[in-house]
């Protein structure tokens, strides 16, 4: 039986993957707020160079996102315990560094330096580019289903 587009869409909406992606988006939204607030705070209030401010803001957003993704988005995946927690943290930081520091910071610098966009606008584009890479690498590497973890998204 051939599924209609509506049926395929309905199946996707009720799928575990959709809910995980939705949670990731919500967590990412909180990270976006953390990033933007601290970028502005460090640059405008503390007078730091916007690139240095961005490095610090990304680090704070990364920690925020790891905690929420570990306890909510990919809840139940991975081995319990302190050591596995720190292994996931290390993997998450590597992925977030690639997506955040290379993708986000690279886009921020290019758009601000070469195209003259305001650093806050450039940062929005950088975050968007890093988000896609971040989700897929974390889903299939950092929080992959293991013998100890389930694929539950509850």
Q: What is the pLDDT of residues 93-143, one digit of tens each?
A: 999 888 867 788 889 999 999 999 999 999 999 888 888 788 888 988 899
Q: What is the structure's pLDDT at 153?
A: 41
**Tokens for 119?**
């650093």
57 vs 77: CA distance, rounded Å: 28
144 vs 77: CA distance, rounded Å: 7
pTM given for the model: 0.71
148 vs 128: CA distance, rounded Å: 32
CB 95 within 8 Å of CB 137: yes
Exposed, middle or buried, 123 (CB in 10 Å: 0-12/13-18/19+)? buried
Q: What is the pLDDT of residues 69-95, one digit of tens each?
A: 999 999 988 788 999 999 999 999 999
Q: What is the structure's pLDDT at 125?
A: 92
> If you average pLDDT over residues 39-58, what whole number do you get?
96
Q: What is the structure's pLDDT at 1?
A: 55
Exposed, middle or buried, 20 (CB in 10 Å: 0-12/13-18/19+)? buried
What are the E-state strand segments in the chain? none
Terminal-to-terminal C-alpha distance of the chain? 31
44 vs 37: CA distance, rounded Å: 10
Q: Where exactly are the structural domains of the chain?
A: 31-142
With vertex at residue 139, the alpha carbon angle to CA 21 and CA 11, rounded to the nearest 5 degrees, is: 45
Lowest mean pLDDT among 9-18, 40-49, 79-88, 109-118: 9-18
């Amino acid at each position: 039986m051939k599924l209609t587009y509506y049926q395929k869409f309905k199946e996707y909406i009720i799928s575990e993957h959709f809910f995980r992606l939705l949670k990731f988006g919500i967590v990412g939204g909180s990270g976006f707020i953390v990033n933007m607030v601290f970028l502005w705070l460090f640059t405008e209030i503390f007078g730091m160079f916007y690139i240095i401010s961005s490095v610090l803001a990304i680090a704070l957003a990364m920690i925020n996102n790891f905690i929420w993704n570990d306890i909510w988005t990919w809840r139940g995946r991975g081995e319990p315990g302190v050591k596995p927690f720190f292994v996931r943290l290390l993997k998450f930081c590597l992925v977030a560094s690639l997506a955040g520091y290379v993708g986000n910071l690279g886009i921020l610098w290019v758009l601000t330096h070469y195209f003259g966009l305001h650093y806050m606008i450039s940062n929005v584009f950088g975050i968007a580019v890093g988000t896609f890479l971040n989700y897929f690498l974390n889903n299939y590497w950092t929080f992959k289903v293991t013998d100890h973890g389930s694929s539950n998204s509850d």
